[in-house]
Amino acid sequence: MSPEEYAALEAAALAQLAAGDPAAAFTGFRWALRYPVELAPADLAAALGVLARIVVALGDGELATRVAHASVEPDDVDGLYDLGYHLIEAGQPAIAATVLAQAHARAPGSEAVVTELCAALERDLRHGCARAALEMEPALIEASFLCRYLYAWNAAMSGDLGVARSRGPWIAPAPEQAVMAERIARLLARADRVAAATPLDGRDLRGWHYVIHGGLVLHRSPHGLDDPMRGRYAWLQDAPSLCADGLAHLAAVLAAWGWHPPCVYAPPGPGHELVAAAAAARLGVPLAPWPMVGAPAPGLVVAHRLDALDGPTIERLRERRADQLFYAHAGCWTDDGPLAPDVVGLLYQSLGPWAADEVAALALMLVAEDREPAEERAAAVALARAVGRPEPGPRERWWAGGPVPSNRFV
C-alpha cells in the first residue's frame, strides 16, 4: 500500500468517526491493516492508533486498550501477541495476521508467536502463507509436534500432500496430541483411497473435499466453474429446486453404495424437518421422530443448513454409527464448524432463505431430477463408488477453504 493510499484511508476513517459512524470507519480502514500489508514500525503504530480510536467508538474498551498499547509500544512482542490473539477472537483474523507477523519479525523462533500467526492465517484461509511462515522456522518444525502438525496440515490445505507424508508416521508423542496425529493419518488414507479416481488438482473440488472432510459434495455451482468459483457459491438464494436437485443426487449416490436407509431423521431446528420430509418421500421410507435421548438408530439424518445444527445434535453425530449416514443440504465453506456431514449438497458463503411452508415442501418433492447436466451427477456417483460408503468412526470437523480456491466476500 502506497503512502497516498494509506493517507486516503486514514482521512476517510477520521471523517466518518467525526460524523459519528464508527462502523463505516472500521469497514474502510481495516484495509490499511489487512494481511499481507507491509508496514514500517512507525506506520504500524500510526495505523493502530487510528484503529484504537475506532474500536473505542465501537464500544469495545477491552480490545481498544490492547490496540492502544500496541500503537505506543510497537516493539513489545508480548503486547502484539496479546492483541493478535484477541483480534482473532473478535473475528478479525486478517488484521490479527498483520499484527502477529510483526511480532514474528521481532521474535523469530517463538513457538507461541508462530503458532498464533498460523491460527490467524488459517482463519483468513491463507494456508499457503501459514505454511511459508512455518518454513521460516525449521528448528521449530523439528522440535515441536504442534509446529510439525501445523506445517503438514497447512501444506495439505494448500494442495501439497508430500509434506504430510514426509513427516510421518503420524504417531502422537503425547496423549493430548493424538487427535492431531489421527487427523493427518486419516487424511492421508483418504488421499490414497481416491488417488486413482480423481486428479486432486487446483480445480478438483469434490476430490479435495473428500480428502479434507471425509465426505462428498454433490452439486457444483455452474457459475464461474473454471474460474473464479470452481464449484462453490459466494452469495446464493436458496430454493426448493436446489434442495430437490441435491436429494436426486443423494438418491443416486446411496444407490451406488448399495444402501437403502430404513428411515429418515430430522434434527430439531428450522428447515431440517422440511428437507428431511422431502428426503423421506424421495427415498420412499418413513420419517422417524428424532429421539429425545441417545443417538439416532440406523437411518439417514437429513439437515438443511449445516450451521443450523444445535449443540446436542452435533454431539450425537460426532461418531458415525453402523448403518447411519448424515446428509446436509448446504454448508458454509468460509467458516469452520464442529462437524462435517457424510454428504453435502452444495457449498456457499452467504445463503438467502426460502419460505419453509407446505408449498415449498410440495415443490421439493415434485421438481424434476434432470435439471443439471448428466455428467455432473455421473461424476459425483463415480467418486462415491471409488471411495465407498463411509464406515463407522469419528466424523471430521468442517474446515473452511481448502486447496481449491474460490472468490469470497471479505
DSSP assignment of 12-25 equals HHHHHHHTT-HHHH
Task: Give the residue from 125, 159, 182 where a domain finishes.
Answer: 125
In this structure, the answer to whether residues 120 and 221 fall within a common structural domain is no
Q: Are residues 336 and 246 in the same domain?
A: yes
Q: What is the pLDDT of residues 140-198, one digit of tens each?
A: 999 999 999 999 999 999 999 999 999 877 888 889 999 999 999 999 999 999 999 99
Question: Is residue 408 helix, strand or coil?
Answer: coil
Specify whether 12 is located in the same domain as 103: yes
CB neighbour class for 371 (10 Å; exposed up to 12, middle 13-18, buried from 19): exposed
* Verdict on whether the full-model pTM lies above 0.85: yes
The CATH number of whichever domain residue 294 belongs to comes to 3.40.50
Q: Is residue 268 scored above 90 in pLDDT?
A: yes
Q: What is the number of other CB atoms lying within 10 angstroms of the CB of residue 184?
A: 21
Residue 190 lies in a domain: no
User: What average pLDDT does range 315-332 have in this prediction?
Assistant: 97
Q: Are residues 100 and 212 in the same domain?
A: no
Structural domain includes residue 62? yes
Cell numbers describing residue 252: 443416486
Domain co-membership, 366 together with 253? yes
Average pLDDT over residues 256-272: 94
Q: Please report, for the domain that includes residue 31, its CATH number.
A: 1.25.40
Average pLDDT over residues 202-231: 96
User: Does 105 share its domain with 203?
Assistant: no
Examine the fold and report which residue of 125, 144, 167 is the final residue of a domain before the chain moves on: 125
Q: For residue 96, tell me if it sits in a domain.
A: yes
Q: Which domain holds residue 36?
A: 3-125
Using the predicted structure, report yes or no on whether residue 368 has a pLDDT greater than 60. Answer: no
Could you give the number of structural domains in the chain?
2
User: pLDDT at position 171, please?
Assistant: 82
Is 150 inside a domain boundary?
no
Task: For residue 328, tell me if it sits in a domain.
Answer: yes
Q: Are residues 207 and 112 in the same domain?
A: no
Decide if 72 is inside a domain: yes
Residue 153 is assigned to a structural domain of this protein:
no
Q: Is 325 a domain residue?
A: yes
Contacts of residue 284, Cβ cutoff 8 Å, sequence gap at least 6: none
Last residue of a domain, one of 95, 125, 155: 125
